[in-house]
Structures are given as C-alpha cells and as structure tokens.
Amino acid sequence: MSDITQAAGLTQDQVLAARQISGWNELPAAASIGPFRVFLRQFSSFLVVILIVAAAVALALGERIDAATIGLVVLLNAILGFVQEWKAETALTSLRKLLSPQAMVVRDGQEQLIPAREIVPGDILVLSPGARVAADAALIRISDLTVDESILTGESMPVTKSLAEEASIVFAGTSVTAGRAEARVTTTGAGTEFGRIAHLTGSVGTKTTNLQNKLGHLARQLGLAALLVAAAVAGLGIALGRELVEMVMTGLSLSVAMVPEGLPAVVTITLALGATAMVRQNALARRLQAVETLGAASVICTDKTGTLTENKMTATQIWTIDRTYDVTGTGYDPAGHIETGGERLRATDDPVLGMLLQTGLTCSHARLNQTGTTWTMVGEPTEGALITLAYKGWCALPHERGVIAEIPFSSARKRMSVLYQSPTGTAVLTKGAPEQILEICSDIITHDGARAMQEADQDAITQAYADMASRGLRVIALARRDAPDQQLTESNLTFLGLVGLIDPPRAEVRDAIAAAKSAGIHITMITGDSPITASAIADQLSLKVTQHLTGAELDALDDKVLRDILRGDVLFARTKPEQKMRIVAALQSEQQIVAMTGDGVNDAPALKQADIGVSMGIRGTDVARDASDLVLLDDNFATIVRAIGEGRRQFSNVQKFVRYLLSSNAGEVIALVVNIAIGGPLVFLATQILWMNLVTDGVTAVALGLEKAEPDQMQQPPRDKHTAILGLSGVATIILLGLYTGLSSLWIFFHLLDQGVELARTTAFTAMVVFEKISVFAFRSIRLSCWRIGWFSNPFLLAALALTLGAQIVAVYWPPLQVLLRTVPIGAAEWQWIAIFALPILVVPEALKLLFARGQRT
C-alpha cells in the first residue's frame, strides 16, 4: 500500500477495504466446547458405558428399581464432572475478559486510540514506552526504540531496534520498553509471528492423562471379566437345571457385583474435591485428572523468564575502585537497602555512592509509580532498575526540567548522556556499556577525590566487569564531569563505578526446587535467554547444571544423542518453540511423565505437548493458558510443588479406594459363585448388591478418597509411568480379602438357613456390609498401619462409617426398606456371629503392616 503517506495513515474507506481482505486482528478462536459437549464427555468412560448397558439389561428384564438406581449413579457422575470442568472453562474466559488491548494508530492524519482487533495491514502504529505492539509491523520512524520480546523468545533483556533490515520489524505481543517509533502494519491475526506459534500449538493432538489411561484399562479388564464370569455362571446354572429367567437375573447380579458401580462417581468426586482444594491454593485444573498427572511427573521442564524469575531487572551489586556494595530487595519496589561490610548506607553517607546513584537516576527516561503499596515501572527495565537503586539509597530526586540536553542511546554508541543543571551547577551524566564508557573517561573517582585514571585502574575495572558478567549480571558503567560551560560533550569524564543487574529469581522458587528434588523429580531449564544468564540463575536456585546447550547446538544433535544428554543435568538456552517441543517429546519417548511450565506464547507448543502443561494465570498469554492443563492463578512456582503433593495424594487415594471397592465386590462374587456351584438359594439379591455397591461402599470410598497425604509422600520417588492402579500386591489383597469375606458370609448364610432363607439372607447381607466397612481400615494406607497415620486422622471416614452402618441398621429394621431390599429383622445372636467374623479383618492387616515396618527398620 505504497500510496499511503507516513503522516496521514489510512482513511476510513481504506480500513474497511483492508478488513475485507485480512479480517479482524485476532487469532482464530479455539474450537468452542459448549456445555453440552462437556456434559457428553462425562459418558466416554468404558466403565460408565458398562453401567449404562447394565441398566438397559435390567430395564429389559423388568427390574426397574435396579435400572433406575444404576442410571442415577451414572447421572450423578456426569453432573459432578461437568460442574468442575465447566467451572474451569468459564474461569479462563473471565481471565481473558480482564484484557482489553488497545493501540494508538494514525488514521486520517490524526492519532487515534482504537481496539487492537480493529487494526488492519497498512495501519501506522504509534509506539511509546509501555505500549504493547498489536501486530507485526515494519518500522518507518524510530527514536531509541527498545522492545521486550521475552513473550516470544524468552530473552530477558530488551532488544534494540533500528531501521537496519534485521532489526526493523516489531512483533505482535511484544512491549515497548523505551523510545518512540512509528511502524506500518504488515501482518495481522494468525499471520503474525505470534499467530504462527499459536498454530504450532494447535498442531499437537489431544492427549489423555495417565490416570485416564489406567482407569480405562482397568474398566476394560473389569468389563470383560464381568461378562465372562456372568455368562459362565449363568451357563453353569442352566446346565445344572436352574430356570432360565432365574439364571439370567443371577448373571446380571454377578455382573453388577463385579463392576464397582460407585467407582466412576468416587473417582470424579475425589478428583473434584482435590481440584477444589487446589483452587484454594491458587491452581486451577482445567481437567479433573490434571493435578493427578502432575503428581506422577518425573521431569519438570521450566521456562526461566517470568517463571523462575520475576521478569524485573534488579541491581544486585555496585562496584567502585574503593568499595563493593551489595543491594537487597528485588523488582521495582524500593523496599531494600545498600550495604557494604554489614553497614547500611544512603547517598548522603558516601559521596562516591551518592554521585553514582544520582547519575543513574537522572540519566534516564524511566519512572516509578506508586499506587497504594504497589510499585510499577514505566520505561526500559535497565533504567527502571537504576531508578529503584537510587530510591533504595534515598537519593535526592532530580529537579524538574533539570535535563537541558541529551545525546540518546543508540546500538552503535551503547551509551546515553544528559546535560543536567542543578542548584549546585551543571554536569554531564553518562551511563552505558563499560567498554564505551571507559573510552571517554580520563579520571576515576575515589573516596579521596578524583584522580587521573591509570592502567591499573583500567585493568581493575575490566576484571570487575568480567567477574560480574560471568555471574550472569548485565553490567552498566556510570560516569560524570562538571560542565560549567554547559556543553554536552562525551570526553574527559570521571569514571564512577559499575552496577550489576539481573532478572532475579522469585523468592519462593529455591525452596520449591529443593522440595521437588527431594521428591525425586528432575528439573530441566529451557529458556530463550543466554546460557550465561540462565546458568547464573540456575546457580542461585541450587539447580545443578553440568552442561548447557543452545538451540543451534540442539539442532545439530540427532534424537538418540539428545535422549542421552537429557539423562544428565543439562540446561537449554536460546531455544525456539519448536525446539522446546522436541525436548519434551524426547523425554516422553524415554517413558518420562513431563510437566512443562511457562507463560509466553513461545512456551505454548511445549505446554500442549507435555503430559501436563502449567501456565501462569496473571502474566500468562491466552495462548499459553489455552494450551495448558493447570493454570497457576498466583504465578507462583511453589504452587507447582504443592500441586505435585496433591496429585500424589490423589493417585494414592484412587489406588486405595479402587482396591477397597474391588475387594468388597470380590467377596460378593465369591459368595454368589460358590453358592450357585453348590446349589443353594441366592445368598444376595440384585437390589441388595446394588445397595452394598452404591449406597454403603460408595460413601465409604469417597471418604477414603479424602485421606490426608502420608507422612513420607514427598520423600518418595515418582511412580513409574506404567504403575498399575492395582498391581500384583493389589490383586493378591483383593483375592485374599474377598475369599475371607465371601466364604464367611456364605458360612453365616448356610448356618442360619434352617431358620428361614430370609433371615439367613438378611444376616449374610448385613455381615457383608459390616465386613466391607471394617475392611476400609486396611486400605487407609497401603504401607503404613493406622497406628502410624492415626486412627482418627480422617474424620470424614469415621462419619461415613457411622452413616453407612446406620443405614444398614435402618435397612434391616425399617419396614419401607425391608420391602425394597427384602430384609427381615435379625437378633443379637446373628449380630454376634457378624462381630466374630469381622474382628480378624481389623486385626490381621494391622499386625502384618506392623511386622513389615519392623522388618524394614531391621
């Protein structure tokens, strides 16, 4: 659109014509998942499908109560899952609505502030400090422009722009830190660099969590087993001369007994409660299984800028020829101090320090703003850090209109100078790269006054600069000279000192990394920043690094070599989005469960590729949040470690209540199969089995899912990716306990059969309920005894036991339930038999766990 002048910009007609071609300046909306689809997704589990089929069969056979009961459980499970997942989706929508980006453009010869989505190719953007670039654009006018591109590249330092070809483009999503410019929009929406990376994110397919895979596998096994056993028993009964209808109902009863109807609801409730608990700790799970998957993570791949660090430049050290000063505090809040040798100093206490602070404060375009207790910085991060440093030293603020001339910073000169007039005189104040400042200095300041700079002084400055840079600090040199002639010339200046700056680690991250390492989780930093800066941050966080690779070096490696390197303590720097995805995929090929953290659009593809993506809710981009499974609402890395603990607790509790539910069902199945094999009347009716599995077992299993984390949970290594929910030990426990409870209830049934089948059946039914309630104590921990974790540490479980045992008493003695469940009252003698057989279920598991713990200690 070469006919457009720089001054006038587009006309309204040209804007409308351009929009017809390019559309709105926004990324294609992610495929909207409406509430109906989210609700239907709750019925995709194989176990839920089995329950639906069982309900249909029961309805076809005229067992309407059984069908209605199963259908109610399926519906409850779907509602619970829908509520949690829809809450997560609407919470993300609310986060997006907090952002309403606008942009300054030139149209019809006037500057106008318009919504960013209305920008079209050909528009002229007006860029100033603090502005967010709304589209990819080519610079046409420029004045000392620097841009923060960390959202795209991960590079913590702003990039200096010029009209040179390689530096003349500004990208959508980046922010102006200093200078001014006008730029003609070249690309909008999906065609921008921002949009390209978002498209790369969309190329990653839909993933299923580890828990979904495990539960799906378990459901298929249970479904197949239920069908085979039910068919075999029904066929056996028919072969032995039983009636066809009776054996079909018996087969249905067996299938109902084998499939733990309460399992989908219990899993959903447990995960929903866990997700709710995580929201209180500022972590929003977009999928119920997300937190559990994080608990299984064996590797955390983490971005640096804004995730491990504050994304706020901070002065940490001052060097002068006489002294070295340390600076406390981080970010742009001046709550900190300057000290040397344990003594706190202000600008008025130390003339050399005072001159250095005054130079950094005055030779700047940045400013600090305070709103209540919150400090914000407008301008270039390096300048903001120097202003904050001056505030910490209680430096006198410069006079308004004190700067009477300026030689601006440029990428060629790498320094900036101002002519500053104060009540005490006029001075030239300069800051910039140490090499460029040294070449214009003839003197150096000491605490005895200024003197001519000697070669030894230059060597000392160069060595101090090298030492700071080797620790990942960005080094700024400062100089000044009196200017009574009021001429701004960069020569014969007096060297003041060096200031070392860094984007500091977030305060809580060091302890969070230590906790993750103690849990056996490997942490790998993947950043777009320089390897020196990244290594320095890793060192401050005690994150072990024995090797670092840049993106270019990574591209030269084949996948096998990369996998070998990933087994060590490696740090990746100068990486691109595609390379981050490759690293995550390489780890996954080694059977690792990978969590990826990040906040920028450059992190989004890897966030989606990872087993669980963790994005930042406050400063994270929409693209990153949409690609993630877990959103940190407080942007706090330490929240990840708490989520890992919650995830481990969830999986452990899922293991516990799955084993509990299946051992309960195993007892029912064994009793039914043996009873049919020996030709006795039905020991349990179908409605009684549903009562046990849904009403009594379900409530207890939910309470079991609320067990607290075991004491040594975060000292255990991550579980293997292929760890089964049951495993051999779980199957053995289920069989042994099922044999005991099934045969015990069957013995009670036949022992009382002479007194009437209804009394015998009611007692056996009640005995099985009591056995199942008592057995829950054996599953409160797979390894530890109740003496270790505390008999009363789960009040929800105690309440559930009281409730379900009370419900069983009502079922035995309340006439309406007697009709529904076909029970009759039982006496003290029957209760005595139940108590005798229940006692070993409580004592034996506790004794075995205590013996096991004693054996481990010896």
- The continuous run of DSSP H or E covering 480 comes out as strand 474-482
Give CA–CA dist 819/812, Å, rounded.
Answer: 10
Give CA–CA dist 178/124, Å, rounded.
Answer: 19
- The continuous run of DSSP H or E covering 678 comes out as none
Q: Which residue has the tokens 């190329």?
A: 203
Q: Which residue has the tokens 């850090």?
A: 385
Q: How crowded is residue 255: how many other Cβ atoms within 10 Å of its Cβ? A: 28
Rounded to the nearest 5 degrees, what angle is found at the Cα of 511, between the Cα atoms of 510 and 516?
100
Q: Which tokens sit at 8?
A: 């006038």
- Fill in the amino acid letter for 694: L
Q: Torsion-angle region of residue 574: left (phi > 0), alpha (psi -120 to 50) or beta?
A: left
**Which among 359, 358, 352, 380 has a CA at the least distance from the CA of 368?**
380
Give CA–CA dist 254/259, Å, rounded.
Answer: 9
DSSP state of 692: I
**Alpha-carbon separation of residue 114 from 118, 296, 429 (angstroms):** 7, 47, 39
Contact by Cβ (8 Å): 447, 352: yes
Q: Which tokens sit at 703?
A: 């309470």
Contact by Cβ (8 Å): 314, 388: yes
Q: 106: helix, coil or strand? A: strand
DSSP state of 596: E
Four-residue CA torsion sign, 538, 544, 550, 554:
negative
Give CA–CA dist 648/602, Å, rounded.
Answer: 29
Give CA–CA dist 532/538, Å, rounded.
Answer: 10
Contact by Cβ (8 Å): 631, 287: no
**Which among 652, 668, 663 has a CA at the least distance from the CA of 781?**
652
Please give the distance of CA 490 from its chain centroid, rounded to a whole number.
51
Q: 632: helix, coil or strand? A: strand
Q: Which tokens sit at 523?
A: 């942490």
Four-residue CA torsion sign, 308, 314, 320, 324:
negative
Q: Which runs of consecutive H residues, i.e. helices, occur in 752-827?
A: 757-775, 786-789, 795-813, 815-821
Q: How crowded is residue 207: how many other Cβ atoms within 10 Å of its Cβ? A: 16
Residues with Cβ within 8 Å of 582's Cβ and at least 6 positions away in sequence, in order, are 554, 562
Please say if 622 is a catalytic residue: no
Q: At what angle do helices 637-677 and 210-239 cross, to 10 degrees?
A: 0
Give CA–CA dist 354/376, Å, rounded.
Answer: 24
**Which among 572, 533, 541 has a CA at the least distance from the CA of 638?**
541
Contact by Cβ (8 Å): 715, 848: no
Four-residue CA torsion sign, 218, 844, 780, 78:
positive
**Which among 19, 2, 16, 10 has a CA at the least distance from the CA of 111?**
10
Beta strand ranges found along 47-203 (DSSP E) = 102-107, 110-115, 124-127, 136-148, 159-160, 169-170, 175-187
Residues with Cβ within 8 Å of 61's Cβ and at least 6 positions away in sequence, in order, are 245, 248, 249, 252
Question: Residues 136, 144, 148, 303: which is the catalytic one?
Answer: 303
Rounded (10°) CA dihedral 718, 724, 728, 732: 110
The catalytic residue positions are 303
